[in-house]
Chains A and B, each alone.
Chain A
Amino acid sequence: MIVVQNVVFGALVGGLYGVAAVGLALVFGVLKMLNVSHGELIMLGGYLSVWLFSLWGLDPFASLAVSGPVLFLVGAALYLGLFGRLVPLHDEEKLKNSILIGFGLALILQVLAILAWTADERAIPTAYAGQVWRVGPVVVPLARLAAFAVGFVALGGLHLFLNRTDPGRAIRATAEDWQAAALMGVSVRRTYLYAFGLGSALAGVSGTLVSIADAISPSIGLPWTLKALIVVVLAGLGSIFGTFVAGVGLGVAESLSAFFLGGVYREVVGLVLFLVVLAVRPSGLFGRA
């Protein structure tokens, strides 16, 4: 039974890996740029919710309505100020420089967070934080379950946006072939801006969802970037729900390995999965390319 408990807990955490990874994959798929400061944007989203709670007592689920739009604007500013300058570069050069900029940006955002909020961990002590739902012998933490559900709904909304609206179709068309999209009258630059903003907004949403059940500190960025990267490699590009499932899979694998092998090896699982997928199926488990 304790195995089932671990699976449940890992899946709930893994859902958030999925949401984080979809934001990263959106930017990567559309702009062909890898933002390795994605985890730091998640951290900013988390701090925003911590702030809103401690200043005005705003419930973290309600602060989703703030962290998403604010991080959209942060992402748009980063695109206009930094990443957008890479657009004219050759594909490989663009990818490489976006990785370098993201790496520097990650350090900057982390230091800014230490200066603004100190290096201490901050958590949101909501009234429902400790409540659980008992299903037989298995305990399901309600706040985590709700965060998982909200994350899933957010991805459903993204799916509808990308498939049913004109800006969404423009994003998908640009991801597939920007030249063809441009010939069909899509403003590629504006689409890039929206996609980067949207990816960052998803980071903001993930950050708030993380803050619901876990503490936020300036150093959580890199681990979250890594989870998202590993999930993207596992899932490949092109499928939102494939990415979500891969996130859940990584969460379960981590949780089970921590249980069977000891907590020291929890983080190693992701790397091993990553290497195995690279060696066996480099386009990802759900990949199309």
Chain B
Amino acid sequence: MRGVAAAALVLGLLAAAPALTDRTAVLNWLFLVLLHVGIAQSWNLLAGFGGQVNLGHAAFFGLGAVVARVLWLGGMGVPWALLGGVAAAGAAGLVIGAPSLRLRGAYFAIGTLALAEILRITFANAMPNVSALTAAQLGAYTLAPRYYLALLLAAGATAAAWGFSTSRFGLGLAAIREDEDVAAAIGIPTFRQKLLALLASTVFAGLAGGVFAYYHLSFYPSFAFSPIWTFDALLITFLGGVGTVWGPVAGAAFFVLVREALALRLAELHLLIFGALFVAVVVALPGGLMQAGAALGRRRGPRARGPAPPPRPRDTSTRSPC
């Protein structure tokens, strides 16, 4: 109950932010955090809860962005344009997931990686020009609606993650993540569950793309497919704690803060630092900030509650040497 109250309080404060401050720098920063919560949380839905590594998250983000942008600038209402982007991203998810999620191993990771890069190259060729707002649209531009959309995105994706962490569906996903053979043996429809989780993941990624397209004054369509979006999703999720509800939220706040601080001075170097940080977290601290914080809390006193117990040791019959 305390968790729900805290979440409601944060949500209330964030919803009131445009009324509390008229400093656009603060709102822009909050917007970026919320957008990155959406990007990372949507990745976390499938990879964190279901264990399927998607290396082409940029494909779904990019499709959402470009389709929503084209529809919006073509004169369609914003909700319909966003819906169009979401539909395109979800459809692409089904196209790549239907054959590759039937199989185990690396096929899904390879397929999504290929999809993102191919879409990037294809869109760079097919839509080489920058997409910019017209003077009339610039005149009507206000930050508040963009901000609320991003809040809706972040809250929706996090609510979905919360649902995954408590529901029967989510427990099935966790079983698939831990051991797919066992999951199948106890009657979980593994392929259907994975595909549904992918659909949820791509729908929120497409919405994140749409929010990005609605926010930015100008961008190259191929930029929305850049592998950097996938990397941001992975980094934020792993920094915060993969497979947790609040990890991507904490990770996004930390990531945007550090990136804005570093990018002013060290344009290329901040990518290097984040890359090294990501590899270090994957190798050394797979639980991310949430686990580190929990460990710290446990050391301080008995009142602190850890979010998740450490992973159980697996059966050792298939272990490799050493």
Contact = CB atoms under 8 A, between A and B. Distances in A.
Contacts of B238: 100
A275 interface: yes
B187 to A, nearest CB: 20
Interface stretch (A52-60, A106-114, A205-213): A106-114
A222 B119 CA distance: 13
Nearest to A84: B322
B125 A36 contact: no
B138 to A, nearest CB: 31
Given A104-B282, A114-B268, A91 B318 contact: yes
Interface string A71-89: 0000000000010010111
Contacts of B109: 34, 36, 99
B283 A95 contact: no
Contacts of A157: none
B261 interface: no
A128 to B, nearest CB: 31
A274 interface: yes
B55 A36 contact: yes
Contacts of B122: 264-265, 267-268
A87 B103 contact: no
Contacts of B117: 222-223, 226, 267
A91 to B, nearest CB: 6
B49 to A, nearest CB: 14
Which of the listed residues A225, A229, A278 has the most CB atoms from chain B within 10 Å of its own CB? A278
Identify which of B106, B231, B234 gathers the most chain A CB atoms within 10 Å of its CB. B106
Given A226-B113, A229-B110, A279-B99, A90 B314 contact: yes
A192 to B, nearest CB: 9
Contact of B272 (A92, A112, A267): A112
Interface stretch (B72-80, B161-169, B273-281, B294-302): B273-281
Contacts of A90: 314, 318-319
A154 interface: no
A264 B126 contact: yes
Nearest to A34: B106
Contacts of B95: 275
A101 B282 contact: yes
A188 B268 contact: no
Contact of A104 (B103, B125, B278): B278
A34 B268 CA distance: 27
B82 interface: no
Contacts of B276: 104, 108
A225 B109 CA distance: 12
A275 B234 CA distance: 24
Given A100-B234, A101-B279, A278-B107, A94 B272 contact: no
Interface residues of B, number: 49
B107 A100 contact: no
B320 interface: yes
Nearest to B282: A100
Nearest to B274: A107
Contacts of B271: 107, 111
Contacts of B103: 278, 282
A96 B107 contact: no
Contacts of A274: 110-111, 114
A88 B322 contact: yes
Given A100-B53, A100-B234, A111-B271, A270 B318 contact: no
B154 interface: no
Contacts of B106: 28, 34, 95, 99
B321 A271 contact: no
A233 interface: yes
A178 B321 contact: yes
A90 B321 CA distance: 11
A104 B268 contact: no
**What 3 pairs between A and B have smallest CB-CB spacing?**
A108-B275, A104-B279, A107-B275
Interface of A: 28, 34, 36, 82, 85, 87-97, 99-101, 103-105, 107-108, 111-112, 114-115, 178, 182, 188-189, 222-223, 225-226, 229-230, 233, 263-265, 267-268, 270-271, 274-275, 278-279, 282
Given A103-B231, A111-B268, A271-B114, 18 more contacts: A34-B106, A34-B110, A88-B322, A92-B180, A95-B105, A100-B278, A101-B279, A101-B282, A104-B231, A111-B269, A111-B275, A222-B117, A225-B113, A229-B113, A229-B114, A267-B121, A271-B118, A274-B110
8 contacts: A36-B55, A88-B321, A97-B282, A114-B268, A178-B320, A188-B321, A229-B113, A275-B95
